[in-house]
Amino acid sequence: MEINWNPIVFHLGNFEIRWYGVFVVLAVITVIGMALLEAKRRNFSRDTIWDVALWGVIGGILGARLLHVIDKWDYYMQHPDQLLNFAGLAIWGAVLGALVAIIVYTQVKKISFWELGDIVAPGAILGQAVGRVGCLINGCCFGLTCDLPIAVFYQHPDSYAPHGIPLYPTQVFHLIWNVAGFVLLWLLRKKMKPQGALFLLWLIFFSVGDFVIHFYREGDIFMFNLQQAQVVDIAVVTVAAVLWIWRVIASRKPAPAVESNTTGQNPAGSA
């Protein structure tokens, strides 16, 4: 399949608006919209969702940029003037940065992080799918060379992907995996127990797919012959699985017994 779509929507002087940025905004709108819908079903404060959205967006952007810079450290040490241009973002940085911001928010406001996580999870993975449409147009997150009929060819000179070379459509792989994850989480959202299980399932499901797809993506080796995102995937799956087991065990502990009145007297003092 040939992709010759101009990834730039328009220019404002030297500043350019790319379709990638448009779809990132649409992804954020998707996450917030789905969270509001689920909050209404659960009788959860929708004002809280708006507050969390602000914290999550700020944390997500900072985290996405930070992880990208770490991943491309050698480049940015040679081009320090590019550190603050936000041209590159890492999806795991966005997820982890948003999570840190939301954890801080829930601690300050004394609300349940696990309940909030379950509310956000279905919309979060759907938002990730929306964002991958921008990746496909932009040519970022492109795959290795591919000799199969599913290969994509980028032709537009402003695309970030190599031009005229058959590549694995890894952006499409991510999109399909995330849509499948949304369907799974949406169907299970009323059944998953204990609180927080849906949120942890999102992390595990997304990480497994991301780990596999990165074997077909262009990227630098980080450690253990794996890319940075794959190392993060392993860490997230491990932590999420442990937390899930801990949540299940904690939910099955019997409630503390209420102390009985051994004197046989009426606690109200009447005969």
Confidence of residue 266 (pLDDT cuts 50, 70, 90): very low
End-to-end CA distance of the chain: 87
pLDDT beyond 90 at 154: yes
Can you give the pLDDT at residue 269? 42
The distance from CA 48 to its chain's CA centroid, rounded to whole angstroms, is: 20
- What pLDDT is attached to residue 95? 78
- Domain chopping of the chain, boundaries: 2-141+168-190
**Burial (CB count within 10 angstroms: exposed 0-12, middle 13-18, buried 19+), residue 115:** middle
* CA dist., res. 173 & res. 176, Å (int): 5
User: From CA 216, how far away is CA 223, in angstroms rounded?
Assistant: 17
Asked whether the beta carbons of 55 and 159 are under 8 A apart, the reply is: no
**pLDDT for residue 76:** 61
Q: Which of 125, 159, 147 is nearest to 31 (CA)?
A: 125
User: pLDDT grade, residue 9 (50/70/90)?
Assistant: confident
pLDDT tens-digit profile of 100-122?
888 888 888 888 989 999 999 99
Instruction: Let me know: does 237 contact 204? Beta carbons within 8 Å.
Output: yes
If we measure between CA atoms, which residue out of 240, 126, 239, 251 comes closest to residue 195? Answer: 251
Higher local confidence (pLDDT), 74 or 141:
141
pLDDT digits (tens, 9 = 90+) for 167-207: 999 999 999 999 999 999 999 999 888 999 999 999 999 99
Q: For position 80, what pLDDT does the model report?
A: 62
pLDDT for 87 equals 56
Q: Give the model's pLDDT for residue 1.
A: 86
Please state which of the ranges 85-94, 220-229, 249-258 shows the lowest mean pLDDT.
85-94
Q: What is the pLDDT of residue 268?
A: 42
With cut-offs at 50, 70 and 90, classify the pLDDT of residue 75.
low
Does 252 score more than 50 pLDDT?
Answer: yes
> Would you state the pLDDT for residue 260?
47
Q: Model confidence at 153, in pLDDT bands (50, 70, 90)?
A: very high
Tokens of 216: 């077909």
Specify the pTM: 0.81
Residue 152: pLDDT band (50, 70, 90) is very high
Cα–Cα distance, 195 to 178 (Å, whole number): 22
| pLDDT tens readout for residues 20-67 | 889 988 998 999 999 999 999 999 988 999 988 888 888 877 877 777
